[in-house]
Structure 1
Amino acid sequence: MASEGAGQGGDGPGLVVDLSRLASASLATAGGKALNLGLLAAADFPVPPGFCLTTPGYRAAAPPELDAIAARLDGAGLDGTGAGSFDGARSPEETGRYDGGRGLADDDRNHLARQAREAVLAAPVPPGVEAAVRGAYAALGSGQVAVRSSATAEDLPFASFAGQQDSFMDVDGADAVLQAVRRCWASLWTDRAVAYRTTNGISHREVGLAVVVQRMVDATTAGVLFTANPVTGTRTQTVIDASAGPGQAVVSGAVNPDHFVVETASGRILQQPKDQPPTLTGAQLRELTSLGDDAQHLFGAPQDVEWVIDGGGKAWLTQSRPITTLYPLPDDDPLNGQAAPDATDGADTRVYLCGTLLQGLTRPITPMGLSVLGLMRGSNKGPWKYANPGLRMYVELTPIFRNKSGRQALEKMLPLADGRSAAVLPALLEDPRFSVTRPPRRKSGRRGKAAPARKQAKGSEGTQSLGLVLGLIPAMVRALLWPDRELRRAQRYQDRLADQLVLPLPATAARRLQHTEDILATSINKLIQVTLPAPSVGYLTLATARRLLRGIAKPRELEAVLRGLPHNVTTMMDLELWHLAESLGRDPEARRAFMELKPGELAARYRAGTLPVPAQSALQAFLSTYGHRAVAEIDLGMPRWSEEPDHILGMVSNYLRVADPELAPDRQFARAAEHAEARISELVERAGAKSRLRGRLVALCLRRTRQLAGLRELPKFCIVLVLAEMHRQLAEVGAELVKNGTIGAAGDAFFLDFDELRVGLRGADLKGIVAARRRLYDVELRRRRVPRLLLSDGTDVEAAMMAAEAAKPRPASADRLAGTPASAGTATGKVRVVMDPVGAHLEPGEILVAPSTDPGWTPLFMTAGALVMEMGGVISHGAVVAREYGIPAVVGVADATTRLQDGQSITVDGAAGTVTW
């Protein structure tokens, strides 16, 4: 790389580069900040002149002991202790991305960081580096400059590192510049920078730091602009914060800046200060908006831009970095990183509902998991269109919004599935972008053969769907007339399915891969035909009873009928786990092991076969039946309990702490069943008072509900059985690919699809593809907020509504949260916020507060006093199980996991849908 500027003798070639010549530099040489400024300068953006002291200068000045300190920080996490790492198998080929330092306590990590800082500050600046800096500073014209850190792990697409390293303003004189350079180098090792790298899995040994020196602009106004709304995610808006004076005050939060929101395409001002004259004129806002939009197009992604306006009114850009917190657009392809170029043109805005949130799943899904879900639903064939932004499954609702009957159905059904989505539905229905439209009439004979082909394709799909539905009717009739016979039929199918999934051995990796695809293609439709009719009848008869009881009983009175349902495989699993814990509690050695050891330690002993004999055999028996289940089990890529039993072992430890016999889950379940039977008798009597026939019909319907509705978990149970076998076979394929050198770890197989695995078996190197997808997956694992309703322009609909509401004056309510009533009853207890059920500890009677739940959470329900969830509706999994167990539940409570704190005493009213304290 050519050097620019004065003072570069033979000792310092390549150390200093003018910003205007930096566009061709690498990230490893210039760091993120300098590289972006170089790209802006090369594209003729108004960038203050300056130079970059490249990373070789830092490397030359770094003291010898620094590498050993960085190695200690990196090595601490290489044993898989990193929180959130996928199934403990991280590929070493992930180019500089480790779990470094996560195994260290904060104090130890900070102590090492301080040692590194002190070592850098004590080391002399090499003569060649000093000469290069002095020469470049003189060539710049001396005077006041800004000296800014530019780390190689900075301003990245997945991690901005904003404010993690230091910058210094108004630096005057060569000596002061050199001192600021040294302090910038040392700031690579601030506690916050080290912690940030640790959190983002970036190697401390690989990171380096360049320094940008720029002429200071005498700013009259300065601030920050975002080319997408960082709160709502809307890509068609520019948000600008501005304040008089230099921009550091705005960036640091030391002032309350003027806040503007501008429609990017038109320049129309959507929001500005009302109580005082604004800092920026309309012309300045439009100029800044245009500069930001041009920068976004230059970098190909939304940007966070720092800017200043000098005394002559000229705008300068002093920094541009990606906005890393935005949720990906629905048009983004999560598997190859490409986005649709016109995703934000606003011409055809679409609306999407997050299907994985409706399944109680907040975490991302592995690429293989997404691929399999797509194959199960027939990809995008048929009336439903899907997208996978952020490695989560979204279904497009735009056609339903634009259809009158579709809107009516959505208004009825969405509140049952997710109360929070239903709460924002009215605003969307009023949005003119989604108004009801009539489909255009097709003219015959003017479009050649294409129209008949489309019609034929649609007809074929419709015929298949209709055929599937019609095929369920005979079984539904049988279930209604002979429920016991249908129960036995479903059980026999479950046993046959397990036998059909077995692959004869020995088998090659190619045969295993083919078997995996075959069982997916052949089992799902048959599974649905056999397992779905009975629970469907159970809920249809409940709906019929509700109609028969209209005017006799309130709809919520029928909730009790669903408590303590028999034949629910998930409930049966939980009760078996409780009985397992009871048996182990009677063995002193087993009880001591479970009370003293952590779940991970217990799991290690189980795998080694060294648990106390009763525990080893009991757990083995339990996992032989339920080992195919998992937390987030609809994701084929997730490890099954048979592989990682930590979660189950932790639940056993929790159950052993139940001291009050009345809190025993089996007793609670029995009481719930008794309550349900009593309610049925009461409702039948009240209906019989109207007419004897009505009483008999209500009795028949509610008895069928009790007999059949509990089978609602069986279809998913069987699907997960299929997924578990697919997981096992693909793990074997992954192990074979590791031997071939195709991938770095067996778990990498779940970051590929079937075609890619097939290519890998022919010898192709897939490490690069896997590394990119694992980076994306890791980013999404750390995401705390997932939009439940997402527009194609990136708008998180709920966030946009909350932002609009927050802007309205309203009386504060500091002691109350509201959500959707999900299970009647009240309970008072201490809060236990649980973000991940694996290893979670819940004392009997504590209030479980969670973002959402799926079947992997249900063992926690058995000791919970009540349930509060951020997601969900009255038919979501957590709500249904809470009703079955008879515990109060409120779902759809926004920000519950942050507003409520561990140990806080609260009262949950499941009928009113409130949480108070």
Structure 2
Amino acid sequence: MASGSTEQGSAGPDLVVDLGNMASASLATVGGKALNLGRLVTAGFPVPPGFCLTTAAYRMAAPTDLDAIAARLDGAGIDGTGARSVEEAERPDGGRGLANDDRDSLARQARDVILAGPVPPDVDAAIREAYAAMGSGPVAVRSSATAEDLPFASFAGQQDSFMDVDGADAVVEAVRRCWASLWTDRAVAYRTTNGISHREVGLAVVIQRMVDAATAGVLFTANPVTGTRTQTVIDASAGPGQAVVSGAVNPDHFVVETASGRILQQPKDTRPSLADAQLRELTSLGDDAQRLFGAPQDVEWVIDGGGKAWLTQSRPVTTLYPLPEEDPFTGQAGTDGAAAGTDTRVYLCGTLMQGLTRPLTPMGLHVLALMRGNNNGPWKTLNPGLRMYVDLTPILRNKSGREVLARMLPLADGRSAAILPGLLEDPRFSVARPPRKKSGRKGGTAPARKQPNGAEGTQGLGVFLGIIPGMVRALLWPDRELRRAWRYQDRLASRLALPLPATAASRLQHTEDILATSVNRLIQASLPAPAMGYLMLAAARRLLRGIAEPRELEAVLRGLPHNVTTIMDLELWHLAVSLGGDPEARRAFTELNPGELAGRYRSGTLPAPAQSGLEAFLSKYGHRAVAEIDLGMPRWSEEPDHILGMVSNYLRVEDPEQAPDRQFARAAGHAEARISELVERAGTKSRLRGRLVALCLRRTRQLAGLRELPKFCIVLVLAEMHRQLAEVGAELVKNGTIGDAGDVFFLDFDELRVGLRGADLKGIVTRRRRLYDVELRRRRIPRLLLSDGTDVEAAMMAAAAALPQQAAADRLTGTPASAGTATGKVRVIMDPVGARLEPGEILVAPSTDPGWTPLFMTAGALVMEMGGVVSHGAVVAREYGIPAVVGVADATTRLHDGQSITVDGAAGTVTW
């Protein structure tokens, strides 16, 4: 960024390039805006004539002081240390550790030095000469940054543009102001958030002939609200388009079906600013631009007084959720044509069902696919946005499948269930009759029956048959089956060990062997008891028909014994209680943040009771993690910050009645009282029914708490695989194959084998990490996604918003998940790592998984954006006896920290 240099020592071709002569131009030379305009001109699109002042001019004009300022911004990074952790990236503030005031002050200094410095004579002359060659007159002077219009970040509106600039002096000054706008507060913050170096960015300037606009606006070649790729959305207003872009006017809004040109939505009761023919012409131009660039486009356009349409800008739309058919690692679309509207399919986000809003690492997705048999079974999955989606289309097109889905989906996710009726009515997903089979008689031949693949046809049946004996044992001898399940956990841990010494190749092979041999065994060993427990609950529900409402049985599941996650949480609470009695330990946990505590733990310098207590806890539970089904996530034994933060939270509990162990005991007592009541009510019908209800509910209490054990064991397997792969990663770092041991989680097994043979995998890892970082910042995840990109819930909400209605300003509604009422202050938590929840505060979260459960111990109530009555957060809330409402749309944005609300877990409402 040093000043005073020229490229090739001349001011001619290096400084100015005509928009029609940019075939050999690069992003680094002309920036994103100019590069795209040049491609449009070359392809024959109507673009106002003009030229680009290249980044060479900016670098000549940039004062030397700018280098030091940019270096300070880069060195500080986002967190003030140059680092940016995943947890920080997920914080609502984007993980900005560098104070906003400090960063803005540096940005202001950068602007000041540019505005104060002279425009180099060669640059000044080049601008004036090119402007004169255009015939002078009004022009648009627009910034074109090298970090702009990128596939992952559009930088829309981050730099300045100036319209109707007339005269050479005014053009030169507008260019200087464009250069300065590279350092606006918003541009610096945007680059920081997207991990783009301030030292490497440059700015070119586009100078174009102004078009005398009769009508202007913006079009999107995909619906930016719903994600639908088959629709074009156009906003238009009389006069220049800048008014539409800046939001200075309320534009006419049009939605057009791209392929047919059919107008789906347009202004009512007013004369629209665009005729039907103009809408179709703009739609066609936008579609052609999308084909040229290979991705949905955000296009600015102008129609002049003579009716001619001009394109003044085209940039990628970066906010759309990826298409299901896209390769999650490259972003390239598949070839089956689903996005074009043929054979539209429906996908349900399975990772949201697991309580995960964040993406999974590539290795995590790879392992989950292997666990499922690589789509050899009846459930096809895809991974758009690095999240796992299940293809529901065959179920929707099957009459029996529809009935099952209508019964089961409300239990898993209330919000998905609410939009299911609309899908059932959609003719694209109507019930399809199976093809008639020819009998083979009278000369006909029956088609050959497809022989099931071994894994596909027998594995599922084998696993099911394998758990039946255990279920019978659990029914007849529950205590014996409990002991058998706990013993298996210990045997599994010893079986996972790898004899040492071990090479990187043997570690990789051991990792694959673990996966191949452990999962089915652990399911057969750990699933029978909880399966029988919930089967007995279902039997009790049938026996109590007409005697008790189904919701009354929820209390039976409170305070369940034998739940390994609950046991873990209570052990962590008891650890906190013991540390609270040690003055030195209490001081450390109240004065230091989780990161500082973790550093002292790793160095062995925590107070002795804390050091030994935490070591004992992690020896049992260190294999767990937040988002623990993702093999790529660090385990608590590696990064104990989360657990240390929970201990700090527990030390703030001062009211004995809010102590988690007392709350859990009260919940268990309430459950026992409810069982006695239900047995008595059933006994009034007949003594036998009363005894049967008692048996069913007692078995439910004895066995259902083991529901967490299968996952606990699976996570044991994943943690050992994680540990072995980290060792493989360390070896690959030594070989120069990858840059960091954690890079192994952005590869798959086959790629790691290639890496062990010496291949350089850094490029693959870099691309995948960038995609992963982009997805970490994504806040809205479609729960139901069509293959044309439509977010079904967003589409239905948009349709409902267009109808006249009166929204409740002081109420949110969702799915009742755990009965009870609680009033308290809101604490919105997007990620549990390092989170602080005061006793009695209302936990408001997008979703939860087992890594969140220590927070439940002090929460007054739970509000989740995702989930249904059987989702993890709902189940745990019932077990802990706290009110919960789940499936509450936009809860994390509508509610704010410190706000006083009342959660009614029976009515499913949140009021204030």
TM class, shorter-chain normalised? over 0.9
Which residue of the partner structure matches residue 61 of structure 2? 61
Q: Return the offset for 1:88.
A: 9.6
Query: Within 5 Å, which residues of 2 pair with 1:132-147?
Result: 132-147=126-141
Which residue of the partner structure matches residue 556 of structure 1? 551
Q: Return the offset for 1:76.
A: 0.8
Give the distance between the partners of 2:80 and 2:752, measured in 1 at CA.
Answer: 25
Q: Render the CA deviation track for 1:519-544: whole Å, top value 9, x for unaligned.
A: 01110010111111110000000000
Give the distance between the partners of 2:348 and 2:514, measured in 1 at CA.
Answer: 29
Give the distance between the partners of 1:88 and 1:65, measured in 2 at CA.
Answer: 31
Give the distance between the partners of 2:309 and 2:437, measured in 1 at CA.
Answer: 54
Which residue of the partner structure matches residue 637 of structure 1? 632
Query: Within 5 Å, which residues of 2 pair with 1:100-499?
Result: 102-341=96-335, 342-442=337-437, 452=448, 455-457=450-452, 461-499=456-494
Q: Is the 8 A contact 1:100 1:201 kept in 2?
A: no
Q: SS of the counterpart of 2:208?
A: strand
Does residue 568 (structure 1) correspond to residue 563 (structure 2)? The answer is yes
Give the distance between the partners of 1:677 and 1:641, measured in 2 at CA.
Answer: 35
Which residue, 670, 695, 699 being the options, matches 1:700?
695
When residues 578 and 83 of structure 1 are mapped into structure 2, their CA distance, relative to the original with a 3 A threshold, is: farther
Structure 2 length-normalised TM? 0.97
Which residue of the partner structure matches residue 3 of structure 1? none
Q: Return the offset for 1:133.
A: 1.3
Gaps spanning 5+ residues in structure 2: where? 1-7
Q: Return the offset for 1:283.
A: 0.2
Q: Is the 8 A contact 1:87 1:747 kept in 2?
A: no
Which residue of the partner structure matches residue 677 of structure 1? 672
State which drifts further: 455-464 or 672-681.
Answer: 455-464
Which residue, 630, 643, 650 being the options, matches 2:645?
650
Give the distance between the partners of 2:82 and 2:521, measured in 1 at CA.
Answer: 41
Q: Render the CA deviation track for 1:130-182: whole Å, top value 9, x for unaligned.
A: 22111111111111100000000001111010000000000111111111111
1:538 maps to a residue whose letter is G
Q: SS of the counterpart of 2:374?
A: coil
Q: Return the offset for 1:591.
A: 0.2
Which residue, 508, 513, 519 being the options, matches 1:518?
513
When residues 33 and 450 of structure 1 are mapped into structure 2, their CA distance, relative to the original with a 3 A threshold, is: farther
Which residue, 737, 740, 758 being the options, matches 1:763?
758
Which residue of the partner structure matches residue 27 of structure 1? 27
Q: Is the 8 A contact 1:221 1:310 kept in 2?
A: yes
Which residue of the partner structure matches residue 50 of structure 1? 50
Give the distance between the partners of 1:902 and 1:54, measured in 2 at CA.
Answer: 47
Q: Is the 8 A contact 2:20 2:41 kept in 1?
A: yes
Q: Is the 8 A contact 1:23 1:35 kept in 2?
A: no
Q: Is the 8 A contact 1:9 1:128 kept in 2?
A: no
Give the distance between the partners of 2:792 and 2:460, measured in 1 at CA.
Answer: 32
Q: Return the offset for 1:728.
A: 0.7
Give the distance between the partners of 2:330 and 2:447, measured in 1 at CA.
Answer: 33
Give the distance between the partners of 1:18 and 1:206, measured in 2 at CA.
Answer: 24
Does residue 536 (structure 1) correspond to residue 531 (structure 2)? The answer is yes
Which residue of the partner structure matches residue 40 of structure 1? 40
Which residue of the partner structure matches residue 14 of structure 1? 14
Give the distance between the partners of 1:281 and 1:651, measured in 2 at CA.
Answer: 61
Q: Return the offset for 1:485.
A: 0.7
Give the distance between the partners of 1:849 and 1:839, measured in 2 at CA.
Answer: 15
Q: Render the CA deviation track for 1:329-388: whole Å, top value 9, x for unaligned.
A: 000111233211423121100000000000000000000000000000111101110000
Q: SS of the counterpart of 1:235?
A: coil
Q: Is the 8 A contact 1:73 1:101 kept in 2?
A: no
Which residue of the partner structure matches residue 716 of structure 2? 721
Q: Return the offset for 1:450.
A: 13
Does residue 868 (structure 1) correspond to residue 845 (structure 2)? The answer is no
When residues 659 and 574 of structure 1 are mapped into structure 2, their CA distance, relative to the original with a 3 A threshold, is: same
Give the distance between the partners of 1:178 and 1:560, measured in 2 at CA.
Answer: 74
When residues 743 and 334 of structure 1 are mapped into structure 2, their CA distance, relative to the original with a 3 A threshold, is: same
When residues 648 and 239 of structure 1 are mapped into structure 2, their CA distance, relative to the original with a 3 A threshold, is: same
Q: Return the offset for 1:109.
A: 0.3
1:418 maps to a residue whose letter is D
Which residue of the partner structure matches residue 795 of structure 2? 800
Q: SS of the counterpart of 1:112?
A: helix
Q: Is the 8 A contact 1:87 1:639 kept in 2?
A: no
2:280 maps to a residue whose letter is R
Give the distance between the partners of 1:174 and 1:691, measured in 2 at CA.
Answer: 99
Give the distance between the partners of 1:613 and 1:916, measured in 2 at CA.
Answer: 46
1:222 maps to a residue whose letter is A
1:53 maps to a residue whose letter is L
Q: SS of the counterpart of 1:457?
A: coil
When residues 867 and 716 of structure 1 are mapped into structure 2, their CA distance, relative to the original with a 3 A threshold, is: same
State which drifts further: 288-297 or 11-20.
Answer: 11-20
Q: Render the CA deviation track for 1:650-694: whole Å, top value 9, x for unaligned.
A: 000000000000000000000100110111011111111111111
1:193 maps to a residue whose letter is A
Q: Render the CA deviation track for 1:59-117: whole Å, top value 9, x for unaligned.
A: 1111011111111100112888678634899xxxxxxxxx9994311000001001111
Aligned length: 900
Q: Render the CA deviation track for 1:710-734: whole Å, top value 9, x for unaligned.
A: 0000000000010011111111111
Does residue 584 (structure 1) correspond to residue 586 (structure 2)? The answer is no
Q: Render the CA deviation track for 1:724-746: whole Å, top value 9, x for unaligned.
A: 11111111111111111111111
When residues 845 and 88 of structure 1 are mapped into structure 2, their CA distance, relative to the original with a 3 A threshold, is: closer
Give the distance between the partners of 1:101 and 1:66, measured in 2 at CA.
Answer: 25
Q: Is the 8 A contact 2:439 2:446 kept in 1?
A: no
Q: Is the 8 A contact 1:850 1:868 kept in 2?
A: yes
Give the distance between the partners of 2:308 and 2:290, measured in 1 at CA.
Answer: 20
Which residue of the partner structure matches residue 905 of structure 1? 900
Does residue 618 (structure 1) correspond to residue 602 (structure 2)? The answer is no
When residues 826 and 473 of structure 1 are mapped into structure 2, their CA distance, relative to the original with a 3 A threshold, is: same
Percentage of pairs with the same residue: 86
Q: Render the CA deviation track for 1:797-855: whole Å, top value 9, x for unaligned.
A: 00001111111111231000000000000001111111110111111111100000001
Gaps spanning 5+ residues in structure 1: where? 1-7, 90-98
Q: Render the CA deviation track for 1:228-284: whole Å, top value 9, x for unaligned.
A: 000000000000000000000000001000000000011000000002100000000
Q: Is the 8 A contact 2:143 2:161 kept in 1?
A: yes
Q: Render the CA deviation track for 1:170-197: whole Å, top value 9, x for unaligned.
A: 0111111111111101100000000000
2:420 maps to a residue whose letter is L
Does residue 829 (structure 1) correspond to residue 831 (structure 2)? The answer is no
Q: Is the 8 A contact 1:672 1:884 kept in 2?
A: yes
1:531 maps to a residue whose letter is S
2:167 maps to a residue whose letter is G
Q: Render the CA deviation track for 1:474-530: whole Å, top value 9, x for unaligned.
A: 111011111111111111110010001111111111111111111011100101111
Q: Render the CA deviation track for 1:435-472: whole Å, top value 9, x for unaligned.
A: 000122355899x99974x7113576223321221111
Give the distance between the partners of 1:633 and 1:660, measured in 2 at CA.
Answer: 32
Q: Is the 8 A contact 1:563 1:672 kept in 2?
A: yes
* TM-align CA RMSD: 1.9
Q: Return the offset for 1:10.
A: 3.9
